[in-house]
Amino acid sequence: MAAKTNAIRILDQLGISYELREYDVDPNDLAAETVAAKVGMPPEQVFKTLVARGDRNGVVMAVIPGNSLLDLKALAKVTGDRSVDTVSLNEVLPLTGYIRGGVTALAAKKDYPVWLDETAILHDVISISAGQRGLQILIAPDDYRRAVNARYTAIAKDK
């Protein structure tokens, strides 16, 4: 069994039920679609957490389905920014405390605003990173939203 991550500890403290799924990590292929296949879920149920920065309001986390792209214009609109862009890969660890492939809004270094794509509510369970590569948390979307104080919005677009 995997060691408990800070993300898992937060869910335990909140009394939120979840399931863990471990998978073998290929550092050359961290795509959400690959993770989905390894944990036995469709890509639209495996959500990835992206870190973005707006020109007015700073850093936010956007959580979208693994088979989608982040709609930067839609994110800017909901955050009140004129423009938003994802942060560079070398900024992810200092901002969140997590490495690529293990980023989660749970137990990030700071409580950034979290925007969860509204398609999450179409599923009984979504999969999110447990804060390390090779470990996913399966959780009810509303429980996840509550745990990270996320807001539902339309921020994903087709690839």
- What is d(CA 60, CA 68) in angstroms, rounded to the nearest whole number? 18
Tell me how many domains the chain contains.
1
Of 127, 118, 129, 67, whose CA–CA distance to 96 is shortest?
A: 129
Which residue range forms the structural domain that includes residue 144? 6-158
Whether residue 2 has pLDDT greater than 70:
no
- 74 in any annotated domain: yes
- 66-93 pLDDT, tens digit each: 999 999 999 999 999 999 999 999 999 9
What are the φ/ψ torsions at residue 19 (nearest 5 degrees)? -125, 145
- 8-54 pLDDT, tens digit each: 999 999 999 999 999 999 989 999 999 999 999 999 999 999 999 99
Interval 55-75 mean pLDDT: 98
Of 72, 87, 91, 99, whose CA–CA distance to 156 is shortest?
A: 72
- 48 in any annotated domain: yes
- 1 in any annotated domain: no
- 13 in any annotated domain: yes
Give the Cα-Cα-Cα angle 30, 51, 159 (nearest 5 degrees): 60
CATH code of the domain containing 68: 3.90.960.10
- 62 in any annotated domain: yes
- Confidence bin at 159 (pLDDT 50/70/90): confident
- 113 in any annotated domain: yes
